[in-house]
Amino acid sequence: MWVIAEIVERKTGMDFRDYIQTRIVEPLGLRDFYVGLPKSENDRVMTLEHVGDPLTSEDYARLGVPEPPVTEVTEDAILSFNQPEVRAVGVPGGGGIMTAAAMTLFYQGLLIGGAKNGETIWRRDTLDFALNVISGDYVDPLMGHRVNRALGVVVAGNEQRNFRGFGHSNSATAFGHGGAGGQIAWADPVSGLSFCYLTNGHDRNPMRMGSRGVSLSSKAASLLEN
């Protein structure tokens, strides 16, 4: 993601954080949405912490799923975002800080392609291109289901969408991305609904975390069924 930030800066001559602020955040009228948190806002941010006990190797074996590999998203990496100097960086791909309401409205902008005043932020053909699944037959090594990755987001797809973090009530065209520790954000073009759930308590149990996310998404998506 740092490469994308570099491309933005070279093409626009702007700091990527300023570009996001002036070309996306302000036109969408988003409040409390930061990529690069100002020092004055630090006292408003919840402190991240890890909760619960991680699954053991024996737990994974009993469940019949492979133990996930260690990645760069470690507990120490997550907790580093409690440091004001790290929050100020606006780390691409994981350093945005906002309220759940602000993220929900951002996804509404992706649904309509721009601001409510009619200002175009993203062309329709650009959004359609970004939602093309490009991951082919690549599967999640933990669950064994296709990951349905587009450009920066996951597309819900078929009846296995719950394995991608979406609710059973989402349409196949819903798109979004789950975050570390149980964060959820998605939009559904069929219903017009967007949803976000954020927590500062990062769950160490991925099975419980995933089940909670699917339950929350299913309940949110079902609100418009009637």
List pLDDT tens digits, range 106-120. 999 999 887 766 778
H or E element at residue 175: strand 175-176
The pLDDT confidence band at residue 199, using thresholds 50, 70 and 90, is very high
User: Is residue 42 in a domain?
Assistant: no
- Residue 47, CA distances (Å) to 5, 63, 84, 185, 212 in order: 26, 32, 11, 20, 21
Burial group, residue 125, by CB count within 10 angstroms (0-12, 13-18, 19+): exposed
Amino acid at 75: E
Range of the domain at 33: 2-37+48-67+74-224
Which pLDDT value is given to residue 223? 80
**pLDDT, averaged across the chain:** 91
Mean pLDDT for the stretch of residues 57-68: 89
Which pLDDT value is given to residue 112? 86
Which pLDDT value is given to residue 82? 97
- Residue of higher predicted confidence among 68 and 186: 186
Which pLDDT value is given to residue 81? 96
Pairwise CA distance, residues 194 & 207, whole Å: 24
What dihedral angle (degrees, nearest 10) is formed by the CA atoms of 200, 203, 207, 208? -70
User: Is residue 114 in a domain?
Assistant: yes
List pLDDT tens digits, range 142-167. 778 899 999 989 999 988 898 888 99
Pairwise CA distance, residues 119 & 211, whole Å: 38
Q: Which two tokens stand for residue 168?
A: 């059973």
Q: Which two tokens stand for residue 201?
A: 């308590």
User: Is residue 117 in a domain?
Assistant: yes
The pLDDT confidence band at residue 226, using thresholds 50, 70 and 90, is low
For the cut 80, the answer to whether the pLDDT of residue 195 exceeds it is yes
User: Is residue 55 in a domain?
Assistant: yes
For the cut 70, the answer to whether the pLDDT of residue 88 exceeds it is yes
List pLDDT tens digits, range 4-45. 999 999 999 999 999 999 999 999 999 999 999 999 999 999
What percent of the chain has a predicted confidence (pLDDT) above 70? 98
User: Is residue 118 in a domain?
Assistant: yes
The pLDDT confidence band at residue 127, using thresholds 50, 70 and 90, is very high
The pLDDT confidence band at residue 222, using thresholds 50, 70 and 90, is confident
How many distinct structural domains can be found in the chain?
Answer: 1
Which residues partner with 50 through β-bridges? Answer: 202
The C-alpha angle 176, 161, 4, rounded to 5 degrees, equals 30
pTM to 2 decimals? 0.90
Q: How many CB atoms lie within 10 A of CB 39?
A: 10
Q: How many CB atoms lie within 10 A of CB 147?
A: 18
Domain CATH for 201 = 3.40.710.10
User: Is residue 43 in a domain?
Assistant: no
